[in-house]
Amino acid sequence: MSTTSHTYTERDVGDFFDQTLQTYLSFWDGDGVLHTGYFADDADDDYLAAAERTSEVLAAEAKIDGSSRVLDVGCGCGNFMIHLAERFGCRGEGLDLSRERIKFAQEKLAGEKRLDIEFRHGSATQMPYEPGSFSHVVSQDALCLVPDKPRSHTEIHRVLRPGGVFAFSDFLQPKKEIGERARKHVYDRVKWNGGYSLVGYQSALEEAGFEIILARNLESHIRQTYRVLGKTARERAEATPDAAAREWMLAFSVSCEEIQLAIDDGEFGWGLFVTRKRGSAAP
């Protein structure tokens, strides 16, 4: 049974990611990579390569190319948007609730003058763009954190051109009711109120005016992400002289074990979706 005791706001989410930026940079990746990996096989333990593969898979399924104008909602430290611009020569913007992560992304972009992209602080529920501004909207593991999900879907629909593509990966809540362990180690840990199942997500997107092109269950990849990160945390803790850092890494490794159990119990999942705004033209 669910043990929800909080209703997290956008302010809570933004503050959390502001406050934890440096911790995640020091442990996960100094370049700001912070999303689930798409692993080659069960033996693959290269997290950064798997995270890059997620970006490649999502871009390929969305059919992004040099003519695209892309919005990355929940862009974090800007890696995906920069990757898309470098790889395809597309234009675009990144939007995120975390001021600190947007600042980090802007500092990275300062050395990439040739890229036609920008990063802004803002909400997915009230985006600072004109209707039909983008051919593609993308996101990686961020939209689940929006408290008012239907409102974010409406906004994404608004800023897309007719026939535009909305392609993203996101965390799932396969079961309606979740237990205390999952609430503590999965949901409360990142200020997440709750989400959709794979089927529920499709229904919500269709209600918002999107045609479902692809909905893929990626449960095995999220389980492997936390298996690899938990192992990495334990190894780094053994080699870390700083007591506080070591304690955080060991606590994180315990959470990774609990997260895997929550996945096995159907309380946490991951999916990839490609949809199209109903309209007369493809991007």
CB–CB of 47/232 below 8 Å? yes
Q: Which two tokens stand for residue 55?
A: 């970006």
Residue 184 is given by DSSP the state: I
**How far apart are alpha carbons 171 and 219 in whole angstroms?**
10
Decide: residue 170, CB within 10 A, 0-12 exposed, 13-18 middle, 19+ buried.
Answer: buried
Judge whether residue 3 has pLDDT over 60: no
Q: With cut-offs at 50, 70 and 90, classify the pLDDT of residue 282.
A: very low
Q: Which residue has the tokens 């040099």?
A: 66
Q: Are strands 160-172 and 134-140 parallel, antiparallel or unpaired?
A: parallel
Q: Which CATH number fits domain 28-277: 1.10.579.10, 3.40.50.150, 3.40.50.720, 3.40.50.410?
A: 3.40.50.150
Q: State pLDDT tens for residues 148-166.
A: 999 999 999 999 999 999 9
Mean pLDDT of the chain: 92
CB–CB of 119/36 below 8 Å? no
Contacts of 246 (CB under 8 A, 6+ apart): 237, 240
| 3-class secondary-structure state, position 23 | helix
Q: What is the pTM of this model?
A: 0.93
CB–CB of 191/16 below 8 Å? yes
Q: Quickly count: other Cβ atoms within 10 Å of residue 43's Cβ.
A: 7
Q: Where are the domains of the chain?
A: 28-277
